[in-house]
Chain A
Amino acid sequence: MSEFFAMGGYAAYVWPSFALTFIVMAANLYLAVRRRKKVIAKLKRDINHAEPGR
Chain B
Amino acid sequence: MFRWFHKLASTRNFYRLAEILSPWLAVLCALLLGVGIFLGLFVAPTDYEQGESYRIIYVHVPSAWLSMFVYMVMAFCSLLVLVWKMKLADIVAEVSAPIGASFTFLALATGSLWGKPMWGTWWEWDARLTSELILLFIYIGYMALRASIDNPSSRARAAAILALVGVVNIPIIHFSVDWWNTLHQPASIMKFDTPSIHPSMLLPLLLSALGFTVFYFVVMLMKTRTVVIERESKSAWVRERIAENRL
**A and B pair up:** yes
Chain A residues in contact with chain B, CB under 8 A? 4, 7-10, 13-14, 16-18, 20-21, 24-25, 27-29, 31-33, 35-36, 39-40, 43-44, 46-47, 54
Q: Do the beta carbons of A16 and B113 come within 8 Å of each other?
A: yes
Chain B contact patch, size range: 35 or more
With A7-B52, A47-B242 in contact, do A13 and B46 touch (Cβ < 8 Å)?
no
B99 contacts across to A, CB distance below 8 A: 28
Interface assignment of B109: CB less than 8 Å from any CB of chain A: yes
Tell which of B56, B229, B243 touches A54, judged by Cβ atoms closer than 8 Å.
B243
B226 touching A35, Cβ below 8 Å: yes
**What's the count of A-B pairs with C-beta under 8 Å?**
89
B103 at the interface (CB under 8 A from A): yes
Chain A positions within 8 Å of B233 at CB level: 43, 46
From residue B126, how far is it (CB to closest CB) to chain A in Å? 19
C-alpha gap A40/B37 in the complex (Å): 34
Do B247 and A40 have beta carbons less than 8 Å apart? yes
- Docked-complex contact A21 and B106, CB < 8 angstroms: yes
Contact of B51 among A9, A18, A43 (CB under 8 A): A9
Question: In the complex, are the beta carbons of B222 and A32 less than 8 A apart?
Answer: yes
- 9 intermolecular pairs with C-beta atoms under 8 Å apart: A7-B55, A14-B56, A21-B110, A29-B218, A32-B223, A33-B222, A36-B225, A43-B242, A43-B247
Binding site for A on B (CB under 8 A): 37, 41-42, 46, 51-53, 55-56, 59-60, 63, 98-99, 102-103, 105-106, 109-110, 113-114, 116-117, 215, 218-219, 222-223, 225-226, 229-230, 233, 238-239, 242-243, 247
B223 touching A35, Cβ below 8 Å: yes
- A13:B106 contact, CB within 8 angstroms: no
Picked from B51, B103, B243, B247, the residue with its CB within 8 Å of the CB of A24 is: B103
A24 and B106 contact, CB distance less than 8 A: yes
- Does the CB pair B110–A39 fall under 8 Å? no
Closest 5 CB pairs of A and B: A8-B52, A10-B53, A21-B59, A7-B52, A17-B110
| Cβ-defined contact, A13 with B219, below 8 A | no
Complex: A23 Cα to B142 Cα, angstroms: 23
